[in-house]
């Protein structure tokens, strides 16, 4: 199927110098994908090689925007005053049906607020979660929430479990995804009241393949297809994992040339940029957040995640499934 994605080209630490190169790279790979790129027209045009193949430029449309969202903008202020920004207009193109997915490396809080304002949530979902694919010893798995909601209720964690399980079925093609709650121990009595109460709800829902608790050291072992946690715990775990991966990567980079060859495959497999791009899961539309510090390879992977979700028509597939429960 043909896929059109909208991109906030001005977001992230590096802006158009990264986003435009990534867009062109992805369009060169996927001949059935086209892009609506939002940002400063003159800046974006300067990022495009005049000799670029017409088969790519014909699928690349630049939409001029008068303003941008920066890292210091507060969500409430941006919703009121940045409706003409590249981020807001990219989301509006998704709302209007002009695109099938939206990608931004901009301010996470503002992206969440503008997404809620513009697109709303899926049925029965009170708050969206940041959901990412994480690498494990047994393939890619899903983990949520990774920072959207630092304080969560039992109902919200239950909603995240429903969202994550259905997304694993749809986007990762896992027939009966296993589900676990992140906790400080795997024993039944461990954890705070929030985790204990959520576990009871999950145990009572026979439609879920709930398998109990998982500790932090089990996240990357691949023993659970979906891991659910509050945004505070999830973000700490994610950043710790990224930090360890970078530490090992730099250690491998410092090896002698002969030793580097032995570890080349391992080094290539642990780059955090390979797994860049997280869904704002629960939003009524495909919205993917790229890490603000992503380079071209990382932003390209965020675009790939958006394309995959668009091909699976993720929100449309989730919506009827979510209407069958009330938390």
Retrieve residue 25's tokens.
């790279």
CATH of range 1-125+282-312; options 3.40.50.620, 1.20.140.10, 3.40.718.10, 3.30.1360.70:
3.40.718.10
Retrieve residue 39's tokens.
């940002």
Residue 244's pLDDT is 84
Residue 271's pLDDT is 67
Burial tier of 89 (Cβ tally within 10 Å: 0-12, 13-18, 19+) = buried
CA 155 – CA 73 distance, rounded (Å): 30
Residue 203's pLDDT is 96
pLDDT band at 321, cuts 50/70/90?
confident
Residue 261's pLDDT is 62
Sequence-ordered alpha helix ranges (H) in the chain: 16-29, 41-46, 54-57, 75-81, 86-95, 108-119, 154-171, 193-204, 231-253, 257-262, 264-269, 296-311, 314-322
**pLDDT over 70 percentage in the chain:** 93
Determine the distance from the C-alpha atom of residue 154 to the mean position of all C-alpha atoms in its chain, rounded to a whole number.
23
CA 258 – CA 200 distance, rounded (Å): 53
8 Å CB contact between 157 and 194:
yes
8 Å CB contact between 102 and 90:
yes
Residue 13's pLDDT is 93
Residue 1's pLDDT is 83
Residue 257's pLDDT is 61
Tell me the residue ranges of DSSP E strands in the chain: 3-8, 33-39, 60-64, 101-104, 129-134, 141-144, 178-182, 209-214, 226-228, 278-281, 287-289
pLDDT band at 327, cuts 50/70/90?
very low
- Is the bond preceding 59 in cis, omega lying within 30 degrees of 0? no
Residue 284's pLDDT is 97
Residue 278's pLDDT is 96
pLDDT band at 147, cuts 50/70/90?
very high
Convert the pLDDT of each residue in 243-298 to its tens digit.
888 888 777 777 656 565 666 666 566 666 778 999 999 999 999 999 999 999 99
CA 138 – CA 160 distance, rounded (Å): 22
Within the chain, which residue ranges are assigned CATH 3.40.718.10? Answer: 1-125+282-312, 127-274
The class level of CATH for 127-274 reads: alpha beta
CA 6 – CA 243 distance, rounded (Å): 30
8 Å CB contact between 163 and 131:
yes
- Is the whole-model pTM more than 0.85? yes
Residue 254's pLDDT is 74
CA 275 – CA 273 distance, rounded (Å): 5
Convert the pLDDT of each residue in 156-211 to its tens digit.
999 999 999 999 999 999 999 999 999 999 998 899 999 999 999 999 999 999 99
| CB atoms near residue 17 (< 10 Å) | 14
Residue 28's pLDDT is 96
The mean predicted confidence, pLDDT, of the chain is 92
- Site of tokens 């969440």: 112
Q: Residue 139 — φ and ψ, nearest 5°? A: 90, 180
Convert the pLDDT of each residue in 58-116 to its tens digit.
999 999 998 999 999 999 999 999 999 999 999 999 999 999 999 999 999 999 999 99
């Amino acid at each position: 199927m043909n896929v059109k994605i909208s991109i906030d080209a001005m977001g992230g630490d590096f802006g158009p110098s990264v986003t435009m190169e990534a867009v062109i790279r992805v369009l060169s790979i996927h001949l059935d994908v086209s892009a609506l790129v939002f940002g400063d027209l003159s800046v974006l045009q300067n990022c495009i090689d005049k000799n670029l193949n017409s088969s790519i430029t014909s699928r690349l449309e630049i939409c001029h925007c008068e303003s941008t969202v920066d890292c210091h903008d507060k969500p409430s202020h941006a919703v009121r005053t940045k409706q003409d920004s590249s981020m807001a207009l990219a989301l509006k193109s998704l709302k209007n049906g002009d695109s099938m997915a939206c990608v931004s490396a901009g301010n996470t809080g503002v992206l969440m607020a503008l997404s809620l304002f513009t697109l709303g949530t899926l049925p029965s979902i009170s708050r969206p979660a940041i959901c990412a694919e994480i690498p494990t010893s047994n393939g890619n798995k899903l983990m949520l929430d990774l920072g959207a909601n630092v304080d969560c209720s039992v109902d919200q964690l239950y909603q995240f479990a429903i969202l994550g399980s259905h997304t694993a079925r749809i986007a990762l093609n896992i027939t009966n995804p296993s589900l676990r709650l992140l906790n400080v121990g795997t024993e039944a009595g461990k954890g705070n009241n929030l985790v204990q109460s959520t576990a009871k709800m999950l145990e009572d829902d026979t439609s879920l393949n709930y398998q109990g608790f998982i500790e932090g050291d089990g996240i990357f072992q691949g023993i659970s297809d979906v891991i659910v946690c509050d945004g505070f715990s999830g973000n700490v775990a994610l950043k710790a994992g990224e930090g360890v991966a970078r530490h090992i990567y730099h250690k491998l980079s410092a090896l002698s040339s002969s030793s580097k060859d032995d570890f080349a495959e391992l080094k290539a497999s642990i780059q955090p940029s390979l797994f860049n791009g997280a869904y704002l899961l629960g939003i009524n539309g495909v919205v993917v957040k790229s890490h603000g510090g992503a380079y071209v390879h990382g932003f390209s992977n965020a675009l790939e995640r958006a394309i995959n979700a668009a091909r699976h028509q993720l929100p449309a597939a989730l919506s009827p499934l979510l209407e069958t429960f009330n938390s």
